[in-house]
Amino acid sequence: MEHRICMVSDFFYPNVGGVEEHIFNLSQCLLLRGHKVIVLTHSYGNRVGIRYMTNGLKVYYLPIKTFYNQCVLPTMICSLPLIRYIFIRECISHVHGHSAFSALAHEAMIIGRLLGLQTVFTDHSLFGFADTSAIITNKFLEISLADCSHCICVSHTGKENTVLRACVNHERVSVIPNAVDTVAFTPDPSKRRKDGISIVVVSRLVYRKGIDLLAQVIVDLCIKYPKVNFLIGGDGPKRSLLEEVVSNNHLENRVKLLGSLEHSQVRDTLVQGHIFLNTSLTEAYCMAIVEAALCGLQVVSTRVGGIPEVLPPKLIYLTEPSVQSLLDGLEKALIDLSEGRAIDPFACHDLVCSLYNWHNVSERTENVYNMVANEPKKSIGQQLRSYGKSNVPVFLLVISLMHIILMVLEW
């Protein structure tokens, strides 16, 4: 069964990250399987309008400015005519939103449901339940997913988290892990420096990624190991913290902040390192550690969320999300490296290749599309009853207003 799918997220290229890569690779495999796929995201600098990527993947960069942390302001109404026009123009049958952080994804899924389209949501992150930001985000997610056709989580830990915080029926949630382009990420030990040890970090520089921990780890490790150097790729609000730490401790020659990386540059950065460090405080699934393992690096990562499900124990050093535990994990990796106990880079690559395959992921995602394709369309009354279960009466007025605007536009 051929589907016409619209992938929607605030996070897409030229930005680099796990969500961006997931959307791109899944779209490519779905195109190869005979489906029509487009991507909807907001503008990035001067990148506005329609762009075409590999295999003719059509990307709409909407002329919407970001509000906070690369996300648009969730107005629910301002973007409605434009999103409706794209759905109709491209004859979309399925709207697939990505990331709980993405306001654009939630908006598009709600608009899609009002237009009678099937919606699928992939949750890439884990959230807590106590702090203010988590409570607000969880409630917004509960509202958004109240009438969503089906949800996908990238790990079993992620599924448990989503079911609890968004009050979603567990029967409407599937677990489909991420994968990685194994051809694009291959080892090249000749690129490593011979006079020292390089530790690579590729991540968004935000609080959730544990950049505060990373800042202290850099200082402590550089003091204890004079031959250790850091390569840090990525950008974000926490970059200023790292710049301050590097400057105050005179580490300019040992810590390189590479800034935002193009996807084609990630592999070339990874192969320069011996060890990959991930300091995330919460993570449903971490594609970066899979890419690093494919490039033959030893991986040191915090034991949070779904990360223990990602790699076999012999390929990863798991630590607690604390400075001392991360230092202990890095020291174990350094000792194994110096004593020759580290796994061969090419053997590491072959092992990871046997575990992850994008074609398998796309086939399982296609099964979800097939499952929801046969569901009957809901009337506006049925949709309002679904959204009413979230116990936010004001949102029912928003949905009603959106429905009226869509009717006016149709007229």
What's the pLDDT at 353? 87
pLDDT in tens, 165-195: 888 888 999 999 888 878 888 999 998 988 8
Given a contact cutoff of 8 angstroms between Cβ atoms, the answer to whether 299 and 311 are in contact is yes
Does the pLDDT of residue 213 top 90, yes or no? Answer: yes
| Strand intervals (E) in 73-191 | 94-98, 118-123, 150-153, 173-175
What's the pLDDT at 29? 93
199 with 328, same domain: the answer is: yes
> Residues with Cβ < 8 Å from 129, sequence gap 6 or more?
135, 138, 164, 165
208 assigned to some structural domain: yes
Supply the CATH number for residue 362's domain.
3.40.50.2000
What's the pLDDT at 391? 82
Q: Of 354, 373, 395, which residue constitutes the final position of a domain?
A: 354
Q: Report the percentage of the chain scoring pLDDT > 90.
A: 51
162 with 45, same domain: the answer is: yes
184 assigned to some structural domain: no
213 assigned to some structural domain: yes
151 with 122, same domain: the answer is: yes
**What are phi and psi for residue 55, nearest 5 degrees?**
60, 25
DSSP single-letter state for residue 2: -
Number of domain units in the chain:
2
169 with 207, same domain: the answer is: no
What's the pLDDT at 91? 94
350 assigned to some structural domain: yes
199 with 340, same domain: the answer is: yes
For 146-253, where are the alpha helices, taking DSSP H only? 156-166, 211-224, 239-248
Indicate the pLDDT class of residue 89, thresholds 50, 70 and 90.
very high
Omega cis (within 30) before 14: yes
15 assigned to some structural domain: yes
What's the pLDDT at 294? 92
Classified as helix, coil or strand, 118 is strand
274 with 339, same domain: the answer is: yes
pLDDT in tens, 318-361: 999 999 999 999 999 999 998 888 889 999 999 988 888 888 89
Given a contact cutoff of 8 angstroms between Cβ atoms, the answer to whether 344 and 189 are in contact is no
Q: Which domain holds residue 36?
A: 4-179+358-408
What's the pLDDT at 175? 92
33 with 54, same domain: the answer is: yes
99 with 244, same domain: the answer is: no
What's the pLDDT at 167? 87
Instruction: Output the pTM of the full model.
Output: 0.77
pLDDT in tens, 26-76: 999 999 999 999 999 999 888 899 999 989 999 999 998 887 777 787 787
112 with 214, same domain: the answer is: no
User: DSSP 3-state helix, strand, coil percentages of the chain (rounded to 5)?
Assistant: 45, 20, 35
> How far apart (Å, rounded) are the C-alpha atoms in residues 303 and 155?
14
> Residues with Cβ < 8 Å from 246, sequence gap 6 or more?
218, 252, 255, 257
365 with 383, same domain: the answer is: yes
What's the pLDDT at 270? 94
Cα distances (Å, whole numbers) of residue 85 to 95, 252, 396: 14, 50, 23
DSSP run (H or E) holding 233: strand 228-233
88 assigned to some structural domain: yes
119 with 69, same domain: the answer is: yes
172 with 26, same domain: the answer is: yes
Does the pLDDT of residue 88 top 90, yes or no? Answer: yes
> How far apart (Å, rounded) are the C-alpha atoms in residues 365 and 37?
13
